[in-house]
Structure 1
């Protein structure tokens, strides 16, 4: 789905907040190492995955569906928290591994660049936005679906990575090496094509919404740099 990456030689400077005074009583997140934020997200996804695998009774399955998937019905029932919790939720092993690999290989560079607090902000905000995009699109299409998965947030991290390191190499399916900006364009085309399909169970609009969040996040922090 995402492939592996090769680190670039040139790096962007980590984001700083020069106007904020030094505060010895910083929050836990402010003191957190960037990589620990990434490992925490991966671990949370792994924990919810194990919860799915051990939900054998009807009551447990009902709890997981009500609290770790999201849809318009969930929101109408007041379960707004599912916009976030569904982004840590994968039922199948393949879904968990694909999202986990994409999150790690792109996220390790992005978390070092952003720091723990902004990285968590990117993941959580894009998760909510991606879910809302898919819910809105499905409602417009008259479809009643439920969603789960970290793909929207992972796409946000991927698109941020591509904006920051456009000339790094991304290996499609771990075989075909492409410049990051070319691979990113192919990812977008794939999801645009998928969004026009009336069949399938992939949240392509959530993917696109997440990718847009990553680009906007980069635009807000760094402005766009010339690719060529």
Structure 2
């Protein structure tokens, strides 16, 4: 619901206000807008972005919520959001340093590039389910049945490739932040279940 509300807020609020308060960037964060670690994960501008994230959140979130409860699901979402934002900041701070040293060329300084979307949070939820149930069948692109673990490997590999290739549209670093939360949560649950 919060994602949809912020999506509509983009249509009526001042765009400078939205960029300052609902996107993550090195400049935004270093200006004291720490809240953007979370608010950026509820923020989507285009329809395709919010629809794909909300489909993932619905299907994987329903399963995780059913097994562990809604409070666990919310904590996982927020953790994925924060760690995804931190990974994004670290990656863009590194790129900004390279930009300063003239090792890379870019249209705008990486410290100003805004990030937004629930992808890091959704990745935490989706990959936790994959780690918990690696032999279950998932449908790649809603068509091709594959073992969950293969889809998980593909998703993580694709995000690493995005970072290496410098994909300007999708933040592999934020996705990997979500993956890190999923892995840490899986380890914690795994240890608890063994004893």
TM-score of the aligned structures, taking structure 1 as reference length: 0.75
Count of matched residue positions in the alignment of Structure 1 and Structure 2: 179
The residue aligned with 1:36 is none
CA shift in 2, pair 1:188/1:224, >3 Å: farther
* Contact 1:218-1:224 at 8 Å conserved across structures: no
- CA-to-partner distance for each residue in 1:160-216, whole Å, 9 max, x for gaps? 100111121111111111010011011011111111013422110110111111111
- CA-to-partner distance for each residue in 1:5-25, whole Å, 9 max, x for gaps? xxxxxxxxxxxxxxxxxxxxx
The residue aligned with 2:99 is none
Structure 1 runs, 4 residues or longer, greater than 6 Å off: none
Q: Distance in 2 between matches of 1:200 and 1:125?
A: 24
One of 86, 110, 128 as aligned partner of 1:160: 128
Q: Distance in 1 between matches of 2:153 and 2:167?
A: 23
The residue aligned with 2:85 is 131
Indicate whether 1:151 and 2:109 are aligned: no
- CA-to-partner distance for each residue in 1:123-148, whole Å, 9 max, x for gaps? 10111111111110111122221110
Q: Distance in 1 between matches of 2:66 and 2:132?
A: 12
The residue aligned with 2:56 is 102
Whichever structure has more helix as a proportion of its residues is 2
In the TM superposition, 1:7-22 aligns within 5 A as: none
Indicate whether 1:188 and 2:146 are aligned: no
TM-score of the aligned structures, taking structure 2 as reference length: 0.87
In the TM superposition, 1:12-161 aligns within 5 A as: 43-55=1-13, 60-142=14-96, 143-144=110-111, 145-161=113-129
The residue aligned with 1:202 is 170
The residue aligned with 1:217 is 185
Matched residue of 2:145: which SS? strand
CA shift in 2, pair 1:224/1:95, >3 Å: farther
* Contact 1:107-1:158 at 8 Å conserved across structures: yes
Report how far residue 119 of structure 1 moved.
Answer: 1.4
Q: Distance in 2 between matches of 1:119 and 1:104?
A: 11
Could you say which structure has the larger radius of gyration?
1
Q: Distance in 2 between matches of 1:169 and 1:54?
A: 42
Report the RMSD for the aligned CA atoms in angstroms: 1.5
Matched residue of 2:168: which SS? coil
The residue aligned with 1:174 is 142
Q: Distance in 2 between matches of 1:163 and 1:198?
A: 27
